[in-house]
Amino acid sequence: MKIGIVCYPTYGGSGIVATELGLELARKGHHVHFISYALPTRLNTFQDNVFFHDVEIPNYPLFEFHLYTLALVGKIIDVVKYEKIDILHVHYAIPHAVSGYLANQILQKDYSLKLVTTLHGTDITLLGLEPGFHPIIKFSLEHSDRITAVSSFLREKTIQHFNTGKEIDVIPNFVNTSLYNRFAQPGLKKNIAPNDEKIFIHISNFRTVKRVCDVIKVFNEVNKQIPSKLLLVGDGPDRIPAENLARELGIQNHIKFLGKQTSLVELLSVSDVFLLPSQSESFGLSALEAMSCGVPVIGSNIGGIPEVVEHNETGFVAELGDVKRMAKYALELLQNSKKWHIFSSNARKRAVELFDTNLIVPKYETLYNELLNS
């Protein structure tokens, strides 16, 4: 099949999922055309059958705000027509589903394009609640040929908020468990924890919803009892408040603000606990990647996190903001090596058995085939 994938190129999860999906589809022989305003973060290796189309945004003095949505429509039309695209798969409803719909309407008289929209979270749980966006998102969902959501939580939220009457398939995010596999790194571990301290890690785009300051508060509680180190990977609006809090608590020497990193497997492979205390999280892809590397996850029991982390098996979930309980869970794991090893292998097992790329990507292929045969 010839598949067009529209996504954000940024560090966030939806762009990562879209890119990994496209790469795997290309490895299976499909032709995959990525359309975005920049090269997606993870599209950093050559893969046969993968093509990238850059959306140029016209700079006209009259326009105070760039017209990305419309520029995207034009690029989609161009790519669909000349690359003979069968399926257009857009990731994140705003503005991609709208651009896809408009392009489809313009092409309709001489081209039948199938439109798939995958919802990733904040397009529904945050933007979807904006009165100005609600009718647009509802309309573009109703005019998608198929809709998928990355978790049951997000599917229920979408039905609750939009009630489109259209079926929503749940196709969870996935991880390449062959790539995200723990491997010993004595040198790196010694460098980070010279006195064999325990290592915590958090990976995100440091947006407010991630509650990075809670990560530091949990770490601070544990560090009082067990000498530990904390790796903070990523960057965003809450990095400075987090750095300030670390200094206020006097624990800045135990914390490494690494910023954005691309090689996550090395860092995950030396980590003992992954922290994800988000206040909004429709799936939590970073938690799944950690589990695949055998890292137990401690997070908040909100959104899709409980669908990824199995409480008291592969980690723990606690009430939003309950940093004391999260710290208690972490101590339970770190003070009992046998328990930690059980949780670590459970986490890996769950990733392999439920969320591996080879299990999930075929679900998208089945959906595409159903559309083309309908």
Q: Indicate which single residue of 242, 285, 295, 318 sits in contact with ligand GMT (rule: CB under 6 A).
A: 285
**Torsion of Cα atoms, 207 then 208 then 213 then 215, to 10°:** -60
DSSP track, 248-302: HTT-GGGEEEEES-S-HHHHHHT-SEEEE--S--SS-HHHHHHHHTT--EEEES-
Asked if 283 is part of the footprint of ligand GMT (rule: CB under 6 A), the reply reads yes
Q: Indicate which single residue of 17, 116, 168, 351 sits in contact with ligand GMT (rule: CB under 6 A).
A: 17
Q: Indicate which single residue of 284, 294, 296, 299 sits in contact with ligand GMT (rule: CB under 6 A).
A: 284
Binding segment (CB under 6 A) for ligand GMT, from list 117-125, 134-142, 188-196, 351-359: 117-125
Asked if 121 is part of the footprint of ligand GMT (rule: CB under 6 A), the reply reads yes
Choice between 77 and 209, CB closer to ligand GMT = 209
Instruction: Please give the angle made by the CA atoms of 184, 185 and 191, to the nearest 5 degrees.
Output: 150
Choice between 168 and 333, CB closer to ligand GMT = 168
Strands across the sheet with 2-6, in order? 50-54, 31-36, 2-6, 87-91, 114-119, 146-149, 168-170
Number of residues that bind ligand GMT (CB under 6 A): 19
Nearest residue to ligand GMT, scored by beta-carbon proximity: 121
Asked if 14 is part of the footprint of ligand GMT (rule: CB under 6 A), the reply reads yes
How does DSSP classify residue 194?
T
Task: Kindly identify the residues of this chain, within the stretch 221-240, that bind ligand GMT according to CB under 6 A.
Answer: none
- Token look-up 């080879």 returns 358
Cβ atoms 170, 149 nearer than 8 A: yes
* Site track 154-173 with ligand GMT (rule: CB under 6 A), x = hit: -------------------x
Question: What separation, in Å, do the N-terminal and C-terminal C-alpha atoms of the chain show?
Answer: 15
Query: CA 135 to CA 18: how far, in whole Å?
Result: 25
The tokens for 134 are 């609600």
Choice between 122 and 228, CB closer to ligand GMT = 122
Amino acid at 169: D
Asked if 92 is part of the footprint of ligand GMT (rule: CB under 6 A), the reply reads yes
Q: To the nearest whole angstrom, how small is the minimum distance from the Cβ of residue 289 to ligand GMT?
A: 10
Asked if 211 is part of the footprint of ligand GMT (rule: CB under 6 A), the reply reads no
- Token look-up 């020497």 returns 253
Task: Kindly identify the residues of this chain, within the stretch 290-349, that bind ligand GMT according to CB under 6 A.
Answer: none
Q: To the nearest whole angstrom, how small is the minimum distance from the Cβ of residue 192 to ligand GMT?
A: 25
Asked if 280 is part of the footprint of ligand GMT (rule: CB under 6 A), the reply reads yes
Binding segment (CB under 6 A) for ligand GMT, from list 115-123, 160-168, 195-203, 326-334: 115-123
C-alpha closest to that of 129 among 150, 164, 167, 160: 160
- Binding-site ranges for ligand GMT (CB under 6 A): 12-14, 17, 92, 120-122, 150, 173, 205, 207, 209, 280-285
